[in-house]
Structure 1
Amino acid sequence: MLRRLLQAIPLLILTSILMFLLIHAIPGGPDAIYDNPNLDAAGRAALRASFGLNDPLPIQYFKWASNMLHGNFGNSLYTGQPVSSVLAQRFPATVELFLSAFILSLLLTAILGTLSAAYQGKAVDYTITTLAYFGISMPIFLLGLVMQNVFASSLNWLPPSGTATLGYTFSPFNALLDHLMHLLMPMVVLAVTFTAGWSRYLRTSMIDVIRQDYMRTGRAKGVPPARLLLRHALRNAVIPLITIVAIDFGAIAGGAAITESVFAWPGMGQLFIDSLNRRDYPVLLTALLLSAIFVIIFNLLADVLYSVMDPRIRYS
């Protein structure tokens, strides 16, 4: 783990450089902050100097990176608040949506992938495969809009957006229930999108494991089918899936951003899109860097989980 962490340091530095250069490559770049017709030339010059935009690009990067290492992420160009405060307000909502959707997706993947492999070539397998292809082909934003139209507008079962019903005073229990009702649709939309693909990977891996000699030996010895599938087959079949899940972390984050926008969920994804529209570059850079850090952490966790699921795996 220590070796993997040390390897992540140059990767993170390179990623931060590329992100910094991409922000400056956007048409207008950070210079857009002083593109105000009400500012005179002196005001523009003072604003450029205050943001350090007169320095050469390498100097700007080293100043930004140095401030980041000291916990100074700058101030939002839109609200004037420290970026750390802006992110702290949004981060819990994203963690809640991400973890709930991630756990639901893994549970559905394990159930559907195992059933599809166990009943290969039968009606159950064909039904799950059809649903999986539907989930793979359905864009996140379209699925979200369809669910809003069906469950919020037509049936009026669930609230269409937000995190709480405004204008009502609830008891603690009813407030929690109301919040969960708001969470349900964005959680399901995000989970279904990734369950569809992951269940296909698990099905293929399960079929390969089921055909192994030790599985035939277990059946011959009278091991119950459920125990054989869940304890022996699933544990070995899930190892390739760990790689896919770790690689898909960036896609999950992108899906969360779209989902948060559709359902007005006040998290990091919606903040990122709003900051992009407002050209709030300090917030954008910090959000991108946090995403890169979490991608690296997820890949490190994948390495650890390999050895947990299969003790034969060792890293040199």
Structure 2
Amino acid sequence: MTTSSVRRRARVAVGVLAVDAAAFAGLLTLNFALPRAMPGDPVDALFAAGSPDLVADERLRAALAAYYGLDRPPVEQFGHYLAGLVTGDWGVSIRDGVPVTGLLAERLPWTALLVGTALLLGGLVGVLLGAVAGWRRGSRLDTAFVVVAAAVRAVPVFVTGSALIAVFAVWLGWFPLSGTSTRFADPGPIGHLSDIAAHLALPAFTLGLPFAAAQFLLMRAAMVGELGSDHLLAGRAAGLPWRVLRRRYAARTALPPVIAAWGVALGTAVTATVLVETVFRYAGVGLLMSEAINYRDYPVLQGCFVLLTVGVLVTGRLADLVHRCLDPRVRR
């Protein structure tokens, strides 16, 4: 590797890091500003009539605002927020009165399990079906798959989740209605894993279905673009069977952009996860964020946003690196 090549790669790496740092700084600023742009504040939510945590004493209300720093100027609050991110002190939940880091550590594994299962299984199914449909472009199977995929992408996840609950949880009784596991049950290690899988099935299917449809359409388009490529024609002229050409050459060449889209899909999955966890009452970060919005719980909202922002940025960058490793054209 020449010196100019090393310098060029170093400049590219520095530019990428600078872009990521600027994006992260902007997202941190929005993370602080957006919760405070909502009507009311945490004390107003506690003070609202009909709230289960009604605070009717004005002196107590003022003390709460002072304790959580809500009476300070916005600039001072922003400085305290940034200092807390650096030191690891993400504040205390106004609703629950416990550290935000403890809440996130409790909820994050469930969200990671849900998102990981949905994206992994949905991506595998979408890629396999997309490769088959793309190779058989114009067939009845291809047309049926495309129609179903387009219909799936048009249906919101909360509609799909509600329908699955009505059919498979209420009517048939095959799966639990909500939650991550059955409380106060001790079925043993195997039974506990089966119970978690039963609670995970419907939310993961709801979240993974639109992702599978998106991966299917992307893989199909990539496979169709490979059908007339020179290396396939050369392979066919050399006597290679179509099965080998489809699996070893066409699918492998079409796969890199699909893998890159895996990381991009995580950004969409973040929004969908909030809706899915709310519909199924799945105790993850999405449900925690939904509950924090109702209570204007600024520390919890900020902690959830930071955690999800870091996850999206890191995953997107890893997907870009994988894409570069798999596709020499991108490296050049």
TM-score of the superposed pair, with normalisation by structure 1: 0.92
Which of 66, 74, 81 is the aligned partner of 1:64?
Answer: 81
Distance in 2 of aligned mates of 1:155 and 1:43? 50
Alignment of structure 1 residues 58-137 onto 2, 5 Å: 58-137=75-154
Other-structure match for 1:24:
36
Count of paired positions? 314
Q: Deviations over 1:175-228 (max 9, x none)?
A: 212221221111111111111122112111111122211111112222233332
Structure 1 segments unaligned to the other structure (5+ residues) = none
Distance 1:126 1:79, change over 3 A: same
Which of 208, 214, 217 is the aligned partner of 2:231?
Answer: 214
Q: Is the contact between residue 45 and residue 295 of structure 2 (CA under 8 Å) also seen in structure 1? A: no
- 1:227 is paired with a residue of what secondary structure? helix
- 1:75 is paired with a residue of what secondary structure? coil
Distance in 1 of aligned mates of 2:100 and 2:175? 33
Other-structure match for 1:189:
206
Give how far 1:2 is off: 5.3
- 2:146 is paired with a residue of what secondary structure? helix
Other-structure match for 1:39:
57
Structure 2 segments unaligned to the other structure (5+ residues) = 1-11, 48-53
Distance 1:37 1:156, change over 3 A: closer
Which of 242, 245, 250 is the aligned partner of 1:225?
Answer: 242
Q: Is the contact between residue 117 and residue 207 of structure 1 (CA under 8 Å) also seen in structure 2? A: yes
Distance in 2 of aligned mates of 1:22 and 1:234? 43
- What is the one-letter code of the residue matched to 1:260? E
Distance in 1 of aligned mates of 2:234 and 2:39? 64
Q: Is the contact between residue 34 and residue 47 of structure 1 (CA under 8 Å) also seen in structure 2? A: no
Distance in 2 of aligned mates of 1:166 and 1:69? 36
- 2:98 is paired with a residue of what secondary structure? coil
Distance in 1 of aligned mates of 2:145 and 2:198? 27
Distance in 2 of aligned mates of 1:84 and 1:101? 25
Give how far 1:286 is off: 1.1
Which of 20, 24, 47 is the aligned partner of 1:12?
Answer: 24
Q: Deviations over 1:237-257 (max 9, x none)?
A: 223334433333221011111
Distance in 2 of aligned mates of 1:222 and 1:168? 61
Distance 1:185 1:64, change over 3 A: same
Q: Deviations over 1:63-107 (max 9, x none)?
A: 110111100000000111000001111011001111111100110
Distance in 2 of aligned mates of 1:208 and 1:79? 54
- What is the one-letter code of the residue matched to 1:149? A
- 1:248 is paired with a residue of what secondary structure? helix
Give how far 1:284 is off: 0.3
TM-score of the superposed pair, with normalisation by structure 2: 0.88
Distance 1:185 1:210, change over 3 A: same
Distance 1:29 1:45, change over 3 A: closer
Distance 1:224 1:58, change over 3 A: farther
Distance in 2 of aligned mates of 1:243 and 1:153? 38
- 1:52 is paired with a residue of what secondary structure? coil
Distance in 2 of aligned mates of 1:270 and 1:117? 38
Distance 1:129 1:72, change over 3 A: same
Q: Is the contact between residue 126 and residue 219 of structure 2 (CA under 8 Å) also seen in structure 1? A: yes
- 2:76 is paired with a residue of what secondary structure? helix
- Pair 1:48-2:65 in alignment: yes
**Farther-moved stretch of structure 1 (238-247 vs 127-136):** 238-247
Distance 1:53 1:102, change over 3 A: same
Compute the RMSD of aligned alpha carbons. 2.0
Other-structure match for 1:139:
156
Alignment of structure 1 residues 160-199 onto 2, 5 Å: 160-166=177-183, 168-199=185-216
Give how far 1:229 is off: 2.1
Distance in 2 of aligned mates of 1:8 and 1:61? 21
- What is the one-letter code of the residue matched to 2:39? P
Distance 1:239 1:156, change over 3 A: same
Distance in 1 of aligned mates of 2:219 and 2:201? 25
Percent identity at matched positions?
31
Which of 259, 279, 283 is the aligned partner of 2:296?
Answer: 279
Distance in 2 of aligned mates of 1:167 and 1:51? 35
- What is the one-letter code of the residue matched to 2:188? S
Other-structure match for 1:260:
277
- 1:77 is paired with a residue of what secondary structure? coil
- What is the one-letter code of the residue matched to 1:47? L
**Farther-moved stretch of structure 1 (87-96 vs 31-40):** 31-40
